Structure 1
Amino acid sequence: MKRVNHQRTVGPGTAGLPGNPGGSAGIAVALLSSAVFGLSGSFAKSLLETGWTSTSAVAVRMGGAALVLLVPALVVLHGRWYQVRGNWKTILAFGFIGVAGCQFFYFNAVERLSVGVALLLEFLAPVLMVLWMWAATRRRPGLKTIGGALAAIAGLVLVLDLGGAVSIDPVGVLWGLAAAICLAIYFFITAKQNDSLPPLVLATGGMIVGAATMVLLGAAGILPTGFSAVPVVLAGRVTPWWVPLAGLVLLSTVLAYVTGIVAARRLGSRVASFVSLTEVLFAVLWAWLFLAELPATVQLIGGALIVLGVVLVRSDRAAGLPGEALGEPDPYA
């Protein structure tokens, strides 16, 4: 699940406020982006349950999306290949960690946990960033950030529901935390303002790198691969396998990334990042509708605490998160 939010063009004092003509439209686009991003877990899990592996799902998802976006990216690039040559390290890091790593770990978590729990674990990334920066700089974060981190940790305990009737797969939890770590590293890598590489080119290049990484690791036998043409069950109905795959590529990747970029440009990264938190709610809703998955009450309370914690962390200007003042990426998938 990784989102690309670049280039703030609306001032922080006006973005998303009443009377700002781009505000309401930007919020609507941001909600659409969150809604289609939230579909990825349900689509992926329906495939994984029929014999697909996470390696294959990520490879086909990113490879298909790259093919769809390749022509628009070439048009935007307009022959300026020096932009790619000058940013090849950023593209590789984005593709290897932000695309391949995040998606592979998240899909493995989804295979063992409910979609909502897996995504909530990944959403701990901002808290991990704060803890790392606190340890690295020895500068105490603001009170909101500390409160947000504590709320998120408390929420994680509730989400795991260690004393509940439904057992939580510890391996699945580790996969979810690995996805959170990849997401946090992605933020650090891409936090620096970069006006020389168009967002669409970065997204397309990252998807190509991510797909190639999965294909190479699978071909070498390092990661397991597997496909299946067995029909899947979505919303209680038997559906051809290509339906969730097409949704994964066209809706949860192509449409999600493009609308995420548009939303960030209309709202600025700070407002867009707040709206992106609704992805958790959408993911739980879609998992309920398509897979009949609904977390226990205590897990929903824990999820609310995690979202509250992330909101507090992101709203605290003393947190000093990478790229926050620059309108940089906010990736979720």
Structure 2
Amino acid sequence: MRTPSPDSSRPLLAASAVLLALAAQNIGAAFAKQLFPLVGAEGVTALRVGISAAILLALWRPWRRLPSRQDARNLLIYGLGMGCMNLFIYHAFARIPIGIAVAIEVSGPLSVVLFASRRPRDFAWLACMVMGLTLLLPITRHASALDPVGVLWAIGAAVCWALYIVFGKRVSHIESGHAVAWGMTAAALFAVPLGVSHAGSALLSPVILLTGLTVAVLSSTLPYSFEMMALRRLPRRVFGILVSAAPAIAALAGWLILDERLGLQQWLAIALVMFASAGSAATTDRSAAAA
């Protein structure tokens, strides 16, 4: 039997890394949701962001090359966007199923791509996204009942994700590990005091600290590592298509770990959002390559 060459196996390994990153991130989200009754969304955000910042600072030691004043300002906004995105999506997870919250959140980065485009085909992806969100959100008579506050938190997370991408682009010239470490530190400066003021000494419970470490590693450290490895080996189009599976993987994690069951219309809505995201990633990258 013919053995695949190392070069031919690299794309498969990279694609597997992306799917592992998504699985780890959403399994971490499911574990995080189990902590909400104990320390609230603020406490879980503080644990995830604070522990992740400590790990990334120890790993990259970014203080060896300090950013300029302009970069520091952009890194601060980038980090605050990251921290608010985590806080808002955890508030959404506490009120609505994880898969639905992630499907709404994905509309943030997708909107950044689509609203910056003037090509007719991109308006088709935009229409597909709007159709999916219309089926998903509790704004029509046939939509499934959802907590409107949870939906608003998910929309807020989508806005923060869009800001995270815009300002992440502005600091993309900084070494990637350093940018993420500084951004996570800025997020921790916002999230940790908020979490401590909300949950207090409960955050120091050994069980909660251990679960928080698990959430931080699954939701941040492992996904960032896997995605960085994949980005070096995969075309952006393929990477974007794989990442578009996030809402489905989130919904599966919610079903397997939390017994969150979605209706047929909700699955259809998630599929439409995923289709819009994958289509946008594919056509955007092809156009960039042609240019």
Indicate the percent of aligned positions where both proteins have the same amino acid: 25
Aligned residues: 281
**1:161-214 Cα distance to aligned partner (Å, 9 max, x none):** 54458521111111111111111122222224743x221111121111111112
Aligned to 1:58: 45
Other-structure match for 1:152: 129
Q: How far, CA to CA, are the matches of 1:184 and 1:319 in structure 2?
A: 22
Aligned residue in 1 for 2:163 = 185
Equivalent residue number for residue 152 of structure 2: 174
What residue is the counterpart of 1:7 in the other structure? none
| Match among 56, 74, 79 for residue 90 of structure 1 | 74
Determine the C-alpha separation between the residues in 1 that align with 2:33 and 2:142. 23
What amino acid maps onto 1:69 in structure 2? L
Preserved CA contact (<8 Å) 1:59 1:212: no
1:264-290 deviation line (CA, Å, top 9, x unaligned): 122143322221122222211111111
1:41-70 per-residue CA deviation (whole Å, 9 max, x = no partner) reads: 21221111x232222211111111122222
Establish whether residue 70 from structure 1 lines up as the match of residue 57 from structure 2.
yes
Alignment match, 1:123:
106
2:262 aligns to what? 295
Q: Please state if 1:205 is matched with 2:182.
A: yes
User: Equivalents in 1 of 2:47, 2:285: separation in Å?
Assistant: 41
TM-superposed CA distance for 1:85, in Å, is 6.0
C-alpha change, 1:259 and 1:146, in structure 2 (3 Å) is same
**Paired amino acid for 1:108:** H
Q: CA–CA distance in 2 between the matches of 1:181 and 1:165?
A: 23
Tell me the equivalent position of 1:108: 91
Does structure 2 retain, via aligned residues, the 8 Å contact 1:109–1:172? Answer: yes
* Contact in 2 for aligned 1:60/1:211 (Cα 8 Å): no
Whether the 8 Å contact between 2:102 and 2:154 is mirrored in structure 1 is yes
Conserved 8 A contact 1:90-1:189: yes
Q: Secondary structure at the match of 1:316?
A: helix
**In terms of mean alpha carbon deviation, does 33-42 or 146-155 score higher?**
33-42
Displacement, 1:318? 8.9
Q: Distance in 2 between matches of 1:20 and 1:84?
A: 41
Q: Secondary structure at the match of 2:146?
A: coil
2:3 corresponds in structure 1 to none
SS at match of 2:145: coil
Deviations along 1:207-256, one digit per CA (max 9) or x if unpaired, are 1111111234456x6xx446758x9xxxxxxxx54554232111111111
1:307-322 matches, within 5 Å, as 307-317=274-284
RMSD of aligned Cα (Å): 2.8
Shift of 1:91: 2.0
SS of 2:38's equivalent in the other structure is: coil
Q: Distance in 1 between matches of 2:225 and 2:184?
A: 13
Give TM-score scaled by structure 1 length: 0.75
Inter-CA distance 27–130: structure 2 relative to 1 (3 Å threshold): closer
* SS state at 2:39 partner: coil
Match of 1:95, as an amino acid? Answer: G
Partner of 2:245: 278
In structure 1, what is the Cα distance between the partners aligned to 2:8 and 2:263?
Answer: 40
1:260 aligns with 2:243: no
State the shift of 1:309 in Å: 1.1
Paired with 2:68 and 2:236, the residues of 1 have a C-alpha distance of: 24
Please, which runs of 5 or more residues in structure 1 have no aligned partner?
Answer: 1-17, 135-140, 232-239, 326-333
Higher relative contact order (CA 8 A, sep 6+): 1
Structure 1 match to 2:119? 142
Unmatched runs of 5 consecutive residues or more in structure 2: 1-5
CA distance in 1 between counterparts of 2:25 and 2:69 reads 30
- Give the letter for the 1:93 counterpart: I
TM-score, with normalisation over the residues of structure 2?
A: 0.85
The aligned amino acid for 1:64 is I
Per the TM alignment, residue 35 of structure 1 is displaced from its structure 2 partner at its CA by 1.1
Q: Deviations over 1:29-49 (max 9, x none)?
A: 11111111122321221111x
CA deviations on 1:275-317 (whole Å, 9 max, x unpaired) are 1122222211111111000211110001000111112222233
The structure with the greater share of residues assigned to helix is 2
